[in-house]
Structures are given as structure tokens and as C-alpha cells.
Structure 1
């Protein structure tokens, strides 16, 4: 691989830190969700982009929301628990049952988000990824297998036609 291969390889996942956060995610999810142990889980995030226009100054500000996303194939249910990057607390779980949603699909632009419309008034966009390095904004966890499993579940059981 040589010196240049090591220099340009990029950051590597700290698996010890990742595994510790995976255990904290599981513990928090099980604490907040009834029968939480029956769900597969992964880290996800949502973005809220606020646009502003002050005459000559145009722009946007993005707010990141960290999520623990659980899914159960048998009940065809997704549960979303808001959390913070250090997993010290979690919010009220939101349950999305396949039989009760209006529409769901995987968005391809501008991000590869999973979009769920529970009704005509609101929606959630769930972004998932293998790993994000920025611990100040995101939960530090490596989850390649979980991302694939969630994507397969969503596309096979949750996506509306």
C-alpha cells in the first residue's frame, strides 16, 4: 500500500467506540420502546432546512436531528426515537405502521433518504449511512450491514407503489 496509500486512505472507524455506541443505542431504544428488543435498530438522521432571504443575503441553515430507527418485519412497523449524538437522552418514540401510512418511498435527490408520509399534513425523511465521522453532529457508529438490512426491509415491505 505504501506511504501514499496510507496518507490518502482517509479516516478509519474506531470500532471500540462504535460498538459502545451501538450498545447505548440498543439500551436507550429498549428503555423507550415497548418490546424494543423485537426490533432491529440503526442510527439515522433527519434534516430541517430553513431558508432565509434578507435582501442581498440569501441562504439556508440546516438543523440535524439524530434518530434511533427500529424496524420489525413481522409487524411491518418502523419506530423512530429522537436522540442526541452522545445518546444521553431520547425523546418520545413515533410509530409508523405500514397499514396506517399514506405514502412511503426512497428519495434519490438531493439525498438518498427514506420518506414516510403518515398523513397529508406531515412527513419524515430518514437518512441512513454506513458511518459519519462528525461526533458533534451525529451518533458515532459503523453500521454497513444494518443500512443494507433496513434498505431491503423498507423497499420490500414499506414502500408504497
Structure 2
């Protein structure tokens, strides 16, 4: 056992169910193409966000977590992002949110947390959005709070490098 194992630095690798992941990617593509105009022009990846809420009641403090799943479409030609909210089992689809670099006030990637950050809105009302784009299924399955009802089962090793290259262009 190494020093980093004491702090959770080493996670057990899981065996990839490639057929399940490929089926989910195929379903994501079908959903995105049906819901978004010219959807086939976008490359897609799976993404999720974590919304943390809390309340203080005199002595008791509560913290709640809400996870949202997205099919994240990105197009190089006009550097546009489209977040299409979906249920973890990909059976339900919500509304799409679209962003272009000129719509976003600030963009960032926090490497230590593995999260991407968008800030938009006016100077009076700043709104922000944190999201994660996992590279491998281990990035999801090794989360302490993972369960089947919270996250989609998608491994995107091939797609992730294309996403990172797009994000770097989007942030310039």
C-alpha cells in the first residue's frame, strides 16, 4: 500500500460492459438528433452536473445533492454548446440549453475537481453552471455516491480528447 492509497488516490478499475456503453451512446445520438435542429452536425458526449443545496435551522444544517444528466453537443463550425437534459436511463428528455462563446462571461476548467465552469447572465444577476464530462466509466463508477438511478452508463475514451480540444477553443 502506497502513501496515496491512504488518501483514496488509488481506485479499483472496473470491467467495462462495452455493449451496454455502446448501446447508450447510440441511444444518446438518436435522442439528440431528434430533439435538436441539425443535431447530426454536433459531436456529443455524456455530461452531468451536481447541484448542492443547503439550509440552516438553528442547530441543524442540511446539505442536499441533486444530479442532472445531459447529452452535451458541441459544434466546431460556430463553437456552439448544447446541453440536452436527459434521465439517467435515457428514457426522458428535457429542454435544451444552448451557449456560444459570446453568451458566456467566464469559462474555466478546474483540473483538480475535473469540472467545467460556465458563467453567464448580466452583471447584476450572474448565473453559473458547473458540469463534468467523465472520460472513462471508472470516472463515474468509482464515485462514492454512484448508483444506477443517478448516472448514465457511458464510457467515452475515444470522444473525450475531441471534447477537450473543443473546450480549449471555446475558452479562447
TM-score tier (shorter): 0.7 to 0.9
Cα deviation 1:22-68 (Å, max 9, x = unaligned): 01100111111100000000100011101222333334111000011
Matched, 1:150 2:153: no
RMSD of aligned Cα (Å): 1.7
Deviates more, 1:31-40 or 1:130-139: 130-139
More strand by share: 2
Matched, 1:97 2:110: no
SS in 2 for 1:24: helix
Q: Kindly state the Cα deviation for residue 9 of structure 1 after the two structures are TM-superposed.
A: 5.3
Q: Structure 1 runs of 4+ off > 4 angstroms?
A: none
Deviates more, 1:143-152 or 1:20-29: 143-152
Q: Kindly state the Cα deviation for residue 107 of structure 1 after the two structures are TM-superposed.
A: 2.3
Work out the CA distance in 2 between the residues paired with 1:49 and 1:100: 24
TM (norm. structure 1) is 0.86
Matched, 1:138 2:151: yes
Q: How does 1:1-161 map to 2 (within 5 A)?
A: 10-108=13-111, 111-120=113-122, 121-129=126-134, 130-131=136-137, 132-133=140-141, 134-155=147-168, 157-160=169-172
Work out the CA distance in 1 between the residues paired with 2:72 and 2:21: 16
1:29 and 1:36 in contact (8 A); partners too: yes
Work out the CA distance in 1 between the residues paired with 2:56 and 2:102: 40
The aligned residue for residue 5 of structure 1 is none
Work out the CA distance in 2 between the residues paired with 1:149 and 1:103: 21
Unaligned runs of 5+ in 1: 1-7
Work out the CA distance in 2 between the residues paired with 1:96 and 1:50: 25
